[in-house]
Amino acid sequence: MTILAVFPAAAFCLGSWQVYRLQWKLDLIERTNAALAKDPVALDPDTLLAPSAASNAHQQHTKVAIDGRVDPSVEFRVAPRVRDGEPGFYAVTPFVLSSGQRILLNRGWIARDKEADGARKDLARAETRVVGLVKRDNERPAWSHDNKPELGQWYWTDVTTMSKLASTQPVLVDAVDSEAKRRRDLGLPIPRPPVATFKNNHLEYAITWYSLCAATTAMLVLRRRRAAGGAAAGMARFGRARMV
């Protein structure tokens, strides 16, 4: 009974924690979307490659604009990546800045059925301007497999290893674009949309914990009523026995 009594309190606390996390996540999404709605900041190569500047831009979700051209000599395909139920991959290639320095560029998602032409179709263009988000972190997601560079199998974007293999600076820019349908129809890579993409399951978690709180509370009340009823019945039988 004592152990069962702990469950409702624990579930209520966890549900309340998820409500707090929900509010925090909604605030983060709002601030991120506000930052992504702003015009991109044009960064010169030296500023882009400065660790502090790149880190600040990444943390603040600041869109940056860089000029240069794609180098098609190397391509990393990060897969599997699913978009609207369709399998595909991210195409990561070196990007040569106007200064001649090299970084990595995640050009976006390409459907498997467009693999033959989509991955290369936009590489013939000369110097262009790319808008995207800077990335420097290099942490493998907990759910991801280990990359196998020797086999060309990439399950997550390992900036450090990719930059060494492609002879670039350890900086990656995730391209952003809001015209996904147009690019899909043209067979071009589809960059990430310029909106927050954080997962937000805290409401479902809160409902789950509060439901468990209600269920275990009902069980506890029922058990106590049964126990009280049993005790009362026992006392009644004891009283009748003494009278006899």
Residue 140 inside a domain? The answer is yes
Indicate the number of domains in the chain: 2
Looking at residue 221, its pLDDT comes to: 84
Banded pLDDT at 5 (limits 50, 70, 90):
confident
Average pLDDT value for residue range 233-243: 51
Question: Could you tell me if residue 119 is inside a domain?
Answer: yes
Averaged confidence pLDDT in the chain = 81
Say if residue 178 is in the same domain as residue 205. Answer: no
Co-location of 203 and 137 in the same domain: no
> pTM of the full predicted structure?
0.73
d(CA 116, CA 107): 16
Give domain status of residue 57, yes or no: no
Tell whether 170 and 207 lie within a shared domain: no
137-146 pLDDT tens trace: 667 777 888 9
Q: Are 125 and 205 within one domain?
A: no
Residue 155 and residue 77 share a domain: yes
Q: Within this chain, do residues 177 and 204 fall inside the same structural domain, yes or no?
A: no
Helix segments in the chain, DSSP class H: 2-36, 45-49, 51-59, 115-118, 159-166, 180-186, 202-243
> Domain range holding 157?
62-186
pLDDT computed for residue 118 by the predictor = 47
**Which pLDDT belongs to residue 192?**
83
> CA-to-CA distance for 118 and 66, rounded, in angstroms?
22
One domain for residues 203 and 144: no
Indicate whether 83 belongs to any domain.
yes
Q: Is residue 46 part of a domain?
A: no
Same domain for 93 and 170: yes
Peptide bond into 87 cis (omega under 30): no
* Statement: residue 76 has pLDDT above 90: yes
Residues 99, 15 share a domain: no
Mean pLDDT along residues 183-209: 84
The whole-number pLDDT of residue 238 equals 45
